[in-house]
Amino acid sequence: MYDFAYHKPTTVADAVKILSADPEARPISGGQTLLPALKHRLNKPTAVVDLSGIAELKGIRREGDRLVIGALAKHGEVANSPEVKAAIPALAQMASTIGDTQVRNRGTIGGSVSNNDPAADYPAAVLGLDATVVTDKRRIAADDFFQGMFTTALEPGELLVAIEFPIPEKAGYAKMRNPASRYVMAGVFVARTKSGTRVVVNGAGPGVFRQAEMETALAANWSADAVAGVKQSPDGLNGDIHGSAEYRAHLVTVMAKRAVANAG
Amino acid sequence: MTVVTPFEGIGASVKRKEDLRFLSGRGRYTDDINRPGQAYAHILRSPHAHAAIRGIDLAAARAMPGVVAVFTGADMVGLGGLPCGWQIHNKDGSPMAEPPHPVLAQGKVRFVGDAVAVVIASTRAAARDAAEAIEVEYEVLPAVATMEAALAPGAPAVHDGVAGNLCYDWHIGDPAVNAAAFQGAHKVVEFELVNNRLVPNAMEPRAAIGDFDPTTGDYTLYTTSQNPHVIRLLMGAFVLQLPEHKLRVVAPDVGGGFGSKIFHYAEEAIVTWAAGKIARPVKWTADRSESFITDAHGRDHVTKARLALDAEGRFLALHVQTLANMGAYLSTFSTSVPTYLYATLLAGVYTTPTVYAEVKAVFTNTVPVDAYRGAGRPEATFLLERLVDVAAREMGMDRIEIRRRNFIPNDAFPYQTPVALQYDSGDYVATLEEALKVADWAGFEQRRQAAKAAGKLRGIGISTYLEACGIAPSAVVGALGARAGLYEVGTIRVHPTGSVTVLTGTHSHGQGHETTLAQLVTDRLGVPLAQVDIVHGDTAKIPFGMGTYGSRSLAVGGSAMVKAMDKIVAKARRIAAHLMEASVEDVEFDRGTFRVAGTDKTKSWGEICLTAYVPHNYPIEEIEPGLDETAFYDPKNFTYPGGCHICEIEIDPDTCQVAVVNFTAVDDVGRVINPMIVEGQVQGGVAQGIGQALLETAVYDENGQLLSASFMDYQMPRANDLPPVSVATHTTLCTHNPLGVKGCGEVGAIGSPPAVINAVVDALRDYDVRHIEMPATPAKIWGIIHAGQRLAAE
């Protein structure tokens, strides 16, 4: 780890001020990605801005037909929240499977979504539920937010404040873990919402993406059988020492079936 | 008064004495040790698999804050390289190629991780900062990352002067007899397989502290080693030219070794030498990333085999051709692993009359490869037990029946194999029968049908194996090229009040020696376990020792202790005879009490011990005071544990994930001293075997970069990957050591991989699968199931 300055602001405005003034400063919440990178000297920020003291970023609350989750909500909090379990059980279930106990007690939803790791869980739920990402400056639709591997619509200095999830009629998630890292090797989030049926794939490609054919099939017939016949193209999917793009494409169909079954 | 104490001797599952300190965080590992004035070393390593060093600019690094010294290979010219401990000879009788293994690179780097320079600074971070300021000018050279690439015509040479990257071309057995036996065989089964390369990953990364006392000129090395005396010898005599009396090596608590901490590593020499140069202690601790690219890897064989059978399925001849990857340099015992620890095991538990094995050892631009739990024997066992299954299938025979038909029968011991070894004892039918019963082999078909109804593919696999351990008679290994003796040393130091300190040349790094070895003393001398301490891991305390590997600690080190205890008892009986005014022949000793035979005259252990040290009434003209004896024990033979492992798995045909649902290990490890510890050792070994079979593999790209260089990509077994393991033992005694023990440290890792793969192949019986290479990952199994290989079974 290289030396860096450390800031612990107590308001979003102060945090944004520091981050905007110094493009080499990095925000940190749970630190589950940034800290290992710092320890490996893969990242050399001038300053680390610790968000954990900002009350505005905390909390999970129901607001009418939406569930609003503050950026600092830890995976363990989401997994165990009565509000989340009642409104979107698939989201609570997803959170309960992220990493291990230690990760779930440190990692935050804001950190995960801002980072947009292709093998992360939450981006699939955010896109699958047609959620809105709220920042200190604006509101961004999930369809516009995720822009490929580790890339989002966030501008330099812009801070994710909360995520607003519309409450779906049904939603379900299934994933196959990478055998070594236990990150997502291929996962599918399915949801039936007021705005339509969504099927989102994570892990298998360079970023989360909607599976249009499966959405059509599922909109017509909400059943595991409906997606069972839809083959995912391996084009553009990840291939590595753990499995080929073809294997991941196969897993997408398997996980889609299981996600629908999990959604009930 | 009668004091009732729980039985703590041989056969008692007493809890491990060392666990309280380990489980409460009070273990004292090398990195826990800090010396006054200590500086920290960071080693700059090659990012290239193969490159010439055209220049190194140290100026900026030397100017960095906190830097004490920066050294490169140029500073170590004149010192020795890291030695190889076993010389193998080629088929033509010439010695193997043994290129230099410099401590710091001399003009060239040969694998990613090769040490180029060392920075010593006042803090670890300062040393690392300065290392980043070193400018190395590399001329990148083409690399050979695989044995296939290294052996290709015109391949780049890893070492100048080593033709064809071949370390040796060795063989064992009689080729003419072997070839003749293939003539007229009913069937010849041909088979090729890979034994996958593994990264050892001990929980504790390697660490070393060099210390130098300018007043006395004495050096001390604290290191994560399985054999401190061997390190003292190798480093002192071959690398740094320091005599033993000026060099102390301490291996304190060590958090796992699995072989990877046997070897003498560059960092040990660097910190010891540098401590002398700067007259300050120097500490180095590997981080996990460094461990992946510097700890010697394991396995990495590619093998072709042919098995000749008669019409009844009896094995007539075995011919094996193996390529063994040595990596970039010869690690300490690397050369012995694919030869004398591998090919000598190719008879297995079978009566195959002729075995001929040819082994080529190959240099590549990868991390050196050396012994890893089992070391050669897992490779031999995997080959044999897969081959036997394939032969059974191609002969249309039952897998159990073909094994039974070829077992060495109980009345054939001692059994001379065609590959040098002579087995002393075993009962392969008994371990097979018990394993079949424990695993409910007969009920498998019902379980398979139930799994099928649930949409799962269920398979069962078996392995009946044998290994040679307790290494070894010094004269035998010397004749085979070992450059060391392989005896062991034990000192029994009885104190005036009767408690006992044992000094052993073996080393415990997870095995539980502080308990098992103490039980030997309790059993023989009657001293309660709490009054026996086992001291190991310090050349200043222990007379000598060859260390712990190859499941030798009890068979060799325990036997040395027995010899020393024999001397203690003999002397104590003479003291007792004097005190009881009896003839020494009439004095009996049984667990703490000396008695004149046939009388009620007794003396307690404590009285005799006190008399030995307070010799007022003592036969001082005949015997010396004191009760402190040392014995060296050189074994007469290897020991031969063996047994039967049965694995049951289920494949989810959708994801193609394998779940190990049951595992049975019935092992003959000779006399069992502590059944609980044996069970733990077998479970741990099986976990590593399942890891090799299903999860772990070291993957290099064609440029020699290790792709599986962290736990993000290298899959260590975790709790939820492992089944309940049913462990049982069936004992036949070793006939040539005083305890009858054989060893249990490696059986789990040796016997299990073929049982797992045999089960996977069995589960895929409806698909055209002859073999699946380890690790049997979901992606590989998906390839089999979904690549149009489905047989028209319907």
Q: What is the DSSP letter of A87?
A: H
Q: Closest chain A residue to B718 measured between Cα atoms?
A: A180
User: In whole angstroms, what separates CA B429 from the centre of its chain?
Assistant: 27
Interface contacts A/B by beta carbons within 8 Å: 45
pLDDT tens-digit series, residues B605-644? 999 999 999 999 999 999 999 999 999 999 999 999 999 9
Is residue B154 one of the residues assigned to a domain? Answer: no
pLDDT score for B792: 35
Helices in chain A by DSSP H: which ranges?
Answer: 12-21, 34-39, 75-80, 82-87, 89-96, 101-104, 109-115, 122-128, 142-145, 212-220, 224-228, 245-263
Closest to B168 (Cα-Cα) out of B365, B298, B322, B367: B322
Contact A250 B786 (CB under 8 A): yes
C-alpha distances in angstroms, B86 versus A42, B83, B95, B295, B338? 41, 9, 11, 19, 12
Note whether A247 contacts B125, CB cutoff 8 Å.
no
pLDDT exceeds cutoff 70 at B666:
yes
- Of B572, B598, B633, which marks where a domain is finished? B633
Residue of B128, B655, B720, B786 to mutate, interface with A, max A Cβ within 10 Å:
B655
ω into B414 cis (within 30 of 0): yes
The 10s digit of each residue's pLDDT in A170-190 is 999 999 999 999 999 999 999
Instruction: Mark yes or no for CB contact A241/B712 under 8 Å.
Output: no
Tell which residue, B346, B573, B554, B574, has the closest CA to residue B467: B346
Chain B residue numbers touching A180 (CB-CB < 8 A) = 695, 708, 711-715
Distance CA B512, CA A240 (A): 40
Q: Are B15 and B513 in contact (CB under 8 A)?
A: no
Using the 3D structure, point to which of B580, B604, B633 is the last residue of a domain.
B633
pLDDT value at A67 more than 90: yes
Three-state DSSP state, B60:
helix
Q: What residues of B are in contact with residue A244 (Cβ under 8 Å)?
A: 779
Q: Do B563 and B274 contact (CB within 8 A), yes or no?
A: no
Helix axes A245-263, A89-96, angle to 10 degrees: 130
Beta-carbon count within 10 A of B481 CB: 18
Asked if A176 lies within 8 A of B655 by C-beta distance, the reply is: yes
B713–A180 C-beta distance less than 8 A: yes
B555 lies in the same domain as B409: no
Report which secondary-structure segment, H or E, holds B51.
Answer: strand B51-57
> If DSSP codes are grouped into helix, strand and coil, which group holds residue B521?
helix
**Does the distance separating the beta carbons of B657 and A254 come in below 8 Å?**
no
Taking CB atoms and an 8 Å cutoff, what residues of chain B touch A250? 782, 786
Does any domain span residue B14? Answer: no
Q: What is the pLDDT of residues A82-137, one digit of tens each?
A: 999 999 999 999 999 999 999 999 999 999 999 999 999 999 999 999 999 999 99
Q: CB distance from A179 to chain B under 8 Å?
A: yes
> Which residues of chain B are within 8 Å of residue A247 when distances are taken between CB atoms?
778-779, 782-783
CA distance B413 to A68: 76
Residues B214 and B82 grouped into a single domain: yes
The confidence band for B790, taking pLDDT boundaries of 50, 70 and 90, is very low
Which among B657, B708, B783 has CB closest to A241? Answer: B708
What is the spatial distance between Cα A60 and Cα A74, in angstroms, rounded to a whole number?
A: 10
Report CB contact under 8 Å: A250, B778: no
Tell which of B633, B659, B689 closes a domain. Answer: B633
B598 and B492 in a common domain: yes
The whole-angstrom separation of Cα A12 and Cα A55 is 9
Nearest-by-CA chain A residue for B654: A254
Q: What's the pLDDT at B786?
A: 84
Give the mutation candidate from B128, B197, B654 for the A interface (greatest A CB count, under 10 A): B654
Q: Which of A44, A240, A242 to mutate to test the interface with B (most CBs of B within 10 A)?
A: A242
How far apart CA B685 and CA B666 sit, in angstroms, is: 13
Whether the Cβ atoms of residue B593 and residue B535 lie closer than 8 Å to each other: no
CB contact under 8 A, B657 and A176: yes
Structural domain tally of chain B? 3
The CATH number for B526's domain is 3.30.365.10
The reply to whether residue B779 touches residue A40, judged by beta carbons under 8 angstroms, is no
Mean predicted confidence (pLDDT) in B490-513: 97
Structure tokens that stand for B392 in this block: 């059974």
Closest Cα partner for A27 from A41, A35, A102? A35
Nearest-Cα residue of chain B relative to residue A256:
B654
Residue B540 and residue B673 in one domain: no
User: Does residue B173 fall inside a structural domain?
Assistant: no
Judged by a CB distance cut-off of 8 A, whether residue A42 touches chain B is no
Does B191 fall in a domain?
Answer: no
CA-CA distance, B658 to B680, in Å (whole number)?
24
Residue B787: is its pLDDT beyond 80?
no
What is the C-alpha separation between B383 and B378, in angstroms, rounded? 8
Beta carbons of B782 and A247 less than 8 Å apart: yes
The answer to whether residues B270 and B383 belong to one domain is no
Give the torsion sign (CA, B345, B348, B352, B357).
Answer: negative
Nearest to B480 by CA among B647, B347, B337: B337
Same domain, B583 and B669: no
A241 to B713: CB separation less than 8 angstroms, yes or no:
yes
pLDDT at A264: 84
| Average confidence (pLDDT) over B296-304 | 98
Q: Which domains can be identified in chain A, with CATH numbers? A: 5-166 (3.30.465.10), 170-263 (3.30.390.50)
**pLDDT band of B791, cuts 50, 70, 90:** very low
Instruction: Provide φ and ψ at B403, rounded to 5°.
Output: -70, -50
CB burial of residue A4 (10 Å; 0-12, 13-18, 19+):
middle
Per residue in B211-229, pLDDT tens? 999 999 999 999 999 999 9
ipTM of the complex: 0.95
How many separate helices (H) and strands (E) can be counted in chain B? Answer: 19, 28
Flag whether B774 is in a domain.
Answer: yes
Q: Are residues B614 and B728 in the same domain?
A: no
Do the chains contact at A180 and B708, CB–CB below 8 Å? yes
d(Cα A187, Cα A172) in Å, to the nearest integer? 11
> Are the beta carbons of B70 and B270 closer than 8 angstroms?
no
Whether B719 and B674 map to the same domain: the answer is: yes
Concatenating the DSSP letter of every residue in B594-659 gives: EEETTSS-EEEHHHHHHHHHS-SSS-TTTS-S--EEEEEE--SS-B--EEEEEEEEEE-TTT--EE
Quick one: average pLDDT of B14-40?
97
Contact at CB, A1 and B125, closer than 8 angstroms: yes
Residue B672 lies in a domain: yes
- pLDDT at B788 > cutoff 70: no
**Same domain flag for B622 and B677:** no
Task: Note whether A153 contacts B: Cβ–Cβ < 8 A.
Answer: no
Candidates B607, B516, B604; CA nearest to B561 is: B516
B184 within domain boundaries: no
The distance of Cα B387 from the centroid of its chain, to the nearest Å, equals 24
Arithmetic mean of pLDDT over chain B: 96
Asked if residue B687 and residue B598 are part of one domain, the reply reads no
Tell me which DSSP letter residue B538 carries.
B
For residues B495 and B567, state if they share a domain. Answer: yes
Interface contact flag, B654 A254, Cβ < 8 Å? yes
Q: What is the pLDDT of residues A34-45, one digit of tens each?
A: 999 999 999 999
| B303–chain A nearest CA distance, Å | 23
Q: What distance in Å separates residue A56's CA from the closest CA in chain B?
A: 34
Q: What domain range includes position B270?
A: 33-141+203-256+261-294
**Residue B624 maps to a domain:** yes
Cβ contact A181–B713 (<8 Å): yes
On the question of a cis peptide bond just before residue B775, with omega within 30 degrees of 0, the verdict is: yes
CA separation for the pair B488, B560 (Å, rounded): 6
Whether residues B649 and B749 fall in one domain: yes
Contacts of A42 (CB under 8 A, 6+ apart): none
